[in-house]
């Protein structure tokens, strides 16, 4: 479940970054003011996208570290099959 959340965060972050860039591209051709509402929307979308990608990456890293920690804590006898 957490892996799906991390992937969804990263994907939605990428979509927000692309939407912010597209909005900025459209605004650059039509507006000269840096503080126009469209510019603020573009900056906000891109910032939200970067934040979502970073949170998704941190969550995936945490999941991977947790799995590695649990695998390392198991006893070697329980981890390896019995060879007779």
The pLDDT tens digits along the chain (84 residues) read 889 999 999 999 999 999 999 988 888 776 566 667 878 888 899 999 999 999 999 999 999 999 998 888 876 665 556 555
The model scores a pTM over 0.85: no
Which helix (DSSP H) or strand (DSSP E) does residue 26 occupy? helix 2-30
The DSSP symbol for 36 reads: S
What SS3 state is found at 33? coil
Q: CA end-to-end span of the chain, whole Å?
A: 38
Neighbouring C-beta atoms of residue 45, cutoff 10 Å: 20
The tally of CA atoms less than 13 A away on the side-chain side of residue 56 is 18
């Amino acid at each position: 479940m957490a892996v799906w959340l991390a992937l969804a965060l990263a994907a939605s972050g990428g979509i927000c970054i692309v939407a912010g860039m597209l909005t900025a591209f459209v605004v650059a051709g039509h507006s000269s003011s840096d503080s126009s509402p469209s510019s603020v929307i573009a900056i906000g979308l891109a910032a939200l996208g970067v934040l979502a990608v970073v949170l998704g990456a941190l969550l995936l890293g945490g999941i991977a570290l947790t799995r590695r920690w649990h695998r390392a804590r198991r006893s070697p006898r329980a981890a390896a099959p019995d060879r007779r």
